[in-house]
Structure 1
Amino acid sequence: MPGVLRHDTEIGNLFIVGEENFLTALYFEHELGKLNFSLACTEGKSLPLLEEAARQLDQYLAGRRKYFTLPLKPEGTPFLQKVWHYLLSLPYGELTSYREIAFRMGNPRSYRAVALACQKNPLPIFIPCHRVVRSDGKIGGYKGGVEVKSRLIALELKNRT
């Protein structure tokens, strides 16, 4: 059974989900209805990996960490996995577009599918889909909300040197 750690941060309550050896999901508080298991049954099951994930998140949000060193195991189709793997290669503080990712992955017309893959990212922040914006430079959507995405982008732009 997975463990869940509720973690209060400056961007709201986050729920980090994982097994003993890897993280599987991160939920924002407004997403709790999407959880597939009883939070009451699993919250409080302390796993060292969840505590480490919370520690690294705090460091990231304080501008002291640029990369996470956590084992991730997001579930998804091969295409989703390919997009999420690409997102992990995006440098801290650099933005790209859905269209650019589609182009770099060899299918320029798949930018909507790339946007959907970002929307389905089960590990936002850890897999940095917040670094992806629309081709016109506008923020676009985000699981945590546009305000949170804007804050994450501003944090990285401020601390990227």
Structure 2
Amino acid sequence: METAYLKTPIGYAEFKGDVNGLVSVKVFDEMTFLDTIPEVLEDAVYQFQEYFEGKRKTFDLKINPQGTDFQKRVWQGLLEIPYGKTTSYLELSKTLGDVKAIRAVASANGKNPLWIIVPCHRVIGSNGDLTGYAGGLHRKKWLLEHESPVKQQSLF
């Protein structure tokens, strides 16, 4: 398993993967790391840089997240949420075919190992509130604003 790091506007991203695909992307507030990027992770780091520069809306990476069949089904559902759009846990549960599975869907969403690539930040509460996010609500807010088709300009 290879590891690479990237400083982003909202923290330090840690990439883990091998020839079978990207296994995880996590975010940290601070860390010490080497600048070398293993060849197998170069494309992931490059695509993340493009995303944060506003040049990329979708990722084209081989992914290999580890989880249960149900978790993988939820993560696949997350991949269907378009850039710049949001959905609720309830709507995602309905899309997956079981409205009663809302808590299980929320739990699987929280265990998503591929930060930003599998866009769990695009899931909000039914009332429009930002709800729990493993990376912190400040990051979720930043990501949703970054992806928003309507950019709010500062008055000052």
Same fold by TM-score greater than 0.5: yes
Distance in 2, Cα, partners of 1:13 & 1:83: 26
Alignment of 1:33-112 (within 5 A): 46-112=37-103
| One-letter amino acid matched to 1:133 | I
Structure (1 or 2) with the greater helix fraction? 1
State whether residues 11 and 29 of structure 2, in contact with CA within 8 Å, keep that contact through their aligned partners in structure 1.
Answer: no
In structure 1, stretches of 5+ residues that fail to align are 33-38
Q: How far does residue 21 in structure 1 lie from its aligned partner after superposition?
A: 3.6
Alignment of 1:19-38 (within 5 A): 19-29=18-28
Match of 2:154 in 1: none
Distance in 1, Cα, partners of 2:39 & 2:128: 39
Match of 1:4 in 2: 3
Higher mean alpha-carbon deviation, 62-71 vs 49-58, is at 49-58
Q: How far does residue 131 in structure 1 lie from its aligned partner after superposition?
A: 0.6
Distance in 2, Cα, partners of 1:44 & 1:54: 12
Match of 1:155 in 2: 146
In structure 2, stretches of 5+ residues that fail to align are 152-156
State whether residues 11 and 30 of structure 2, in contact with CA within 8 Å, keep that contact through their aligned partners in structure 1.
Answer: no
Number of residue equivalences: 151
Q: Percent identity?
A: 38
Deviations 1:84-121 (A, max 9, x none): 01111111111000110101111101111111111000
The Cα RMSD (Å) is 2.2
| One-letter amino acid matched to 2:14 | F
State whether residues 130 and 142 of structure 1, in contact with CA within 8 Å, keep that contact through their aligned partners in structure 2.
Answer: yes
